[in-house]
Amino acid sequence: MNENVLNAEVLPASRTGSWLHYYANPGRFLRLAQPVLPWAAAVSIILTVTGIIWGYAFAPADWEQGNAARIMYVHVPAAWVAMAGYAALAVCSFFSIIWRHPLADLAAEEIGPVGAGFTFVCLVSGALWGKPMWGAYWVWDARLTSVLVLFFLYLGHIALIRAFDNRAHGYRAAAILALVGAVNLPIIVFSVQWWNTLHQGNTISITGSSKIYITMLYPLLIATLGFYLSFITLVTARLCAAIMERKTRALLLAAAERAS
Amino acid sequence: MNLAPFIDGSYAISVVFLVGVFALTYTRYRNAVKRLAAVEKR
């Protein structure tokens, strides 16, 4: 009867996050990801090239905006990937803070530059679309400004990881920034509803009916799928490279210690 | 207004970014594989 119920040996082991630890093992991740990478790269390149060429050359011109609407086929996928990338960054940061898993830190580190690149493409293509339609490359509109803030959050995350002598401190600070910055995602999505913006409202809807003609929707969806797969492939390849670089460094250090 | 520079410009920046990031990632990945293989062979 004196058995201590708080004794770890008495309590059944918690299985919370056990599947995550199984697949997030760096060696196991490498073994799973490396064979898939060439196929993922090939499919993402085929889809992206198809979507871009279809949108640039074969999709019909918009009745109102004319050929300027073709910018949509690179601008919209880049914007969606920029936001999804930040959501992935926030999820990795959450796992990093809760489970302190090194693979989550590495994934967040590798997502940052790729996500910032897609956000940059979104901002530049949006500016190039804005000039002929609005008469200005940039306006301090809620949607544009919140996406610019997203770009700065990505840059801040990249910088914060490298801002400490101890990389573990950098990971922790950057993870907190990523989680706090996630509040910007709903602001981006709903900015066109909450404020009177120059930026147009949502055209594509998963729940309701989309306000886009089918001949324009297909190339947009293919380009979007291509951009998403490109993002996943790039981050996975960079993560694999980062794991191998760490393993190489560890082996070299071990060899140097043996030699001294 | 001539729209071509705006359309071509936005496609150019996207293609340059995608080609660049794929090339950089591929180079980094190949180097990481080669370096690890060389160290493991020692």
Q: pLDDT of A62-91, one tens digit each?
A: 888 888 999 999 999 999 999 999 999 999
Q: How confident is the model at residue A16 (pLDDT cuts 50, 70, 90)?
A: low
Contacts of A181 (CB under 8 A, 6+ apart): A86, A90, A150, A153, A156, A157
Interchain contact B9–A (C-beta under 8 A): yes
- Nearest residue to A56 (alpha-carbon basis) of B2, B22, B9: B9
Interchain contact A251–B (C-beta under 8 A): yes
- Determine contact, residues A177/A170, Cβ cutoff 8 Å: no
Q: So what's the pLDDT on residue A13? A: 44
Block residue for tokens 């119920």:
A5
Where do the H-state alpha helices sit in A64-195? 72-99, 102-134, 142-161, 167-181, 184-194
For the segment A219-251, what is each residue's pLDDT rounded down to a tens digit?
A: 999 999 999 999 999 999 999 999 999 999 999
Rg of chain A over all Cα atoms, to the nearest angstrom: 22
CA distance A186 to A147: 11
Where do the H-state alpha helices sit in A100-135? 102-134
- Determine contact, residues A228/A80, Cβ cutoff 8 Å: yes
ipTM: 0.95
Block residue for tokens 């580190």:
A109
Interface of A with B in 117-136 (CB under 8 A): 117-118, 120-121, 124-125, 128-129, 131-132
Cα A193 from chain centroid? 24
How close, in Å, is residue A228 to chain B by CA atoms? 12
Q: So what's the pLDDT on residue B15? A: 97
Interchain contact B15–A (C-beta under 8 A): yes
**Residue of B10, B22, B33 with shortest CB distance to A75:** B10
Task: Specify the higher pLDDT residue, B42 or A259.
Answer: A259
Interchain contact A66–B (C-beta under 8 A): yes
Joined together, the tokens standing for residue A109 give: 């580190």
Contact call for A68 and B17, based on CB within 8 A: no
Q: What is the pTM assigned to this prediction?
A: 0.90
Contacts of A41 in chain B (CB under 8 A): 22
- Determine contact, residues A108/A90, Cβ cutoff 8 Å: no
Interchain contact A56–B (C-beta under 8 A): yes
Contacts of A198 (CB under 8 A, 6+ apart): A134, A139, A141
Q: So what's the pLDDT on residue A64? A: 83
- Nearest residue to A82 (alpha-carbon basis) of A161, A193, A189, A200: A189
Does the pLDDT of residue A124 top 50, yes or no?
yes
Residue % of chain A over a pLDDT of 90: 71
Beta-bridge partner residues of A62: A66
Q: How many CB atoms lie within 10 A of CB B35?
A: 18
How close, in Å, is residue A69 to chain B by CA atoms? 9
